[in-house]
Amino acid sequence: MGVEEAFLSLDELRVRFSDTVTIGPVSLTIARGEILALLGPSGSGKTTLLRMLAGFERPDGGTVRIEGEDVTAVPPARRRVGMVFQHYALFPHLDVGENVAFGLHGKGKAGRGRGEIVAEVLSLVDLAGFERRKVQELSGGQQQRVALARALAPAPRVLALDEPLSNLDPSLRERTRRELRQLIKRIGITAVFVTHEQEEAFDLGDRVAVLSAGRLNQVGTPEDLYERPANLFVGTFVGRANVLRGAAARALGATDGEVILVRPEQLRFGAGAGERSGLNGVVAERRYTGAAAFFQVDLEAGERVEVEAEPRAARVGDRVCIVAVRTLRLADRQGEV
């Protein structure tokens, strides 16, 4: 994407907590109306990055620009970044309407009263008429939507969401995820959200930025990350993966200092032992999931791989030959995985 398209840009952003914990430097650009997911394990620095974007953490170096304006030193109160907090941070002493109206203080928009804006934003999140409810009386999903409405009411330039779905029941999460994406797209606001779940990042984000140990590993569409991971960390953190080293890797075409990464669904049981470029082994476990089954196969080379196949493809104890449909060759970096 061209530089002129960057609506929001983080440039060489870095911060140091202690001698051992450093985050960045991270550079990222986000287009207008795009949804970017910050994905990484806990402690990878994704929340800190979001908080630097919103102004709650001051970077030691680098800049944050919104629409070309350098906002690095602008305090959160004047940055116009709407924030949805992990536990929502709804004001317990104010009702729903007062929570949503909080950010409209001193904002008399031409021809529209505050009440009108509140009603409009609440209906946007499907909570029309909830103004006088107490926030404690709402369900988790409703509280989440109030938090969203409150962040949207002052018409921010960017929406920042910190693990917006982590407080919801798993059953509710998937539906809310889709509704959230539809809503953000309908409003057309640029959004950045933090998650540690790959599925959530893929479902919600247009692009995903993968972080580990304070470093940005790769930014791309879900397909990019899954099919063309930049390194071993991304390859294993995003989706299930078998990592093969040594003899098994060499059999699949790896050279020294390389590993082979192969997804379970890209392995297949061959016709029989002795097939070309096949790996021989014994089925040790079978886990049935309905449409398919996951087979744990102990290879003769001493490693164990996972194969996703049709449930009746093999039985525990069978001697099998495994063929790889597609493999990825990645540099084997010490200390990773």
Partner 1 sequence: MTRNRGGGRSWPAGVALTLLLAWLVLYPIVLLVVDGLQGDALRTFVARSGEWRALWASVWISLASVVLAAGIGVPLAFLFEWFEFPGRKLLGSLIALPAVLPPFVGVIAFLFLYGESGFAARFLQFVFRFQQAPWHLQGAGAILLVHAYSMYVYFYLFARAGLARLDAATLEAAQALGAGRWRTIVRVVLPLIRPSLAGAALLTFMTSLGSFSAPYVFGGGFRVMTTQIFASKQNGELGVAMVETVALALVALAGLVLLRRTEGDAILAGLGKGTAPRRRALRRPLVRAATTLAGWGLAVLLLLPHATLVLVSLVPYATWTTETLPPVLSLVNYGRLFAEPERLEPLVNSFWMAAVSTSLAVAVGLAAGWLVVRRRVALRRWIEGLLALPWALPGTVFAIALATAFSVSAPAQLRWILVGTVVLLPLAYFVRNLPVTGRAILAGYRQLDPALEEAAASLGAGGWRTLRRVTLPQLKPALAAGASLAFVGALGDFVTSILLYTYRNRPISMEINAALRVNEIGVAAAFGVVLMAVSAIVLSIGARR
- What one-character-per-residue DSSP string does 107-128 give? ---TT--HHHHHHHHHHHTT-T
What does the alpha-carbon distance between residue 286 and residue 57 come to, in Å, rounded to a whole number? 48
**Beta carbon of residue 66, minimum distance to partner 1 (angstroms, whole number):** 14
61 binds partner 1 (CB under 8 A): no
Which is nearer to partner 1, 42 or 289 (by Cβ)?
Answer: 42
Residues in the chain: 337
Return the number of the residue (54 or 267) whose C-beta is nearest partner 1. 54
Q: Does 235 bind partner 1 (CB under 8 A)?
A: no
- 22 or 236: whose CB is closer to partner 1? 22
**Closest CB to partner 1 among residues 23, 261:** 23
Amino acid (one-letter) located at 163 = E
Report the site for partner 1 in 84-113 (rule: CB under 8 A): 85-87, 89-93, 102-103, 105, 107
| Contact residue for partner 1 among 20, 78, 108, 289 (CB under 8 A) | 78
Question: Does residue number 55 form part of the binding site for partner 1 (CB under 8 A)?
Answer: yes
CA distance 306 to 296: 5
Q: Based on CB atoms, which residue is closest to partner 1, 191 or 305?
A: 191
- Indicate the residue among 92 and 170 with the shorter CB distance to partner 1: 92
Of 135 and 232, CB closest to partner 1:
135
Strand ordering across the sheet containing 304-309: 267-269, 319-324, 279-288, 293-299, 304-309
Q: Could you tell me the smallest distance in angstroms from the CB atom of residue 80 to partner 1?
A: 8
Site for partner 1 in 292-321 (CB under 8 A): none
Among positions 73, 77, 110, 291, the unique one binding partner 1 when judged by CB under 8 A: 77
Is omega for the bond preceding 25 within 30 degrees of 0, making it cis? Answer: yes
Among 80, 114, 215, 268, indicate the residue that binds partner 1 (CB under 8 A): 80
| Interface positions, 148-207, toward partner 1 (CB under 8 A) | 150-151, 154
First to last CA, the chain: 31
Distances (CA, A) of 236 to 23, 81, 194, 239, 303: 21, 33, 19, 6, 16
**Cα 7–12–18 angle (5° rounding)?**
130
Query: What is the dihedral angle through the alpha carbons of 258, 264, 266, 269, rounded to the nearest 10 degrees?
Result: 110
State the Cα–Cα distance between residues 310 and 294, nearest whole angstrom: 9
Report the residue from 81, 125, 204, 260 that binds partner 1 according to the rule CB under 8 A.
81
186 close to 129: Cβ distance less than 8 angstroms: no
Residue 16: CB minimum distance to partner 1, A: 9
Tell the smallest beta-carbon distance from residue 51 to partner 1 (Å): 8
Single out the segment in contact with partner 1 by CB under 8 A; choices: 43-51, 126-134, 197-205, 231-239: 43-51
Question: Within 16-35, which residues bind partner 1 (CB under 8 A)?
Answer: 17
Smallest separation (angstroms) from partner 1 to the CB of 135: 12
Q: Which of 41, 76, 115, 272 binds partner 1 (CB under 8 A)?
A: 76
- Spatial separation of the C-alpha atoms in residues 138 and 130, rounded to whole Å: 10
3-class state of residue 298 by DSSP: strand
Angle at 74 between CA 146 and CA 201, to 5 degrees: 45
Which residues are near partner 1 by CB under 8 A? 15, 17, 47-48, 51, 54-58, 75-83, 85-87, 89-93, 102-103, 105, 107, 150-151, 154
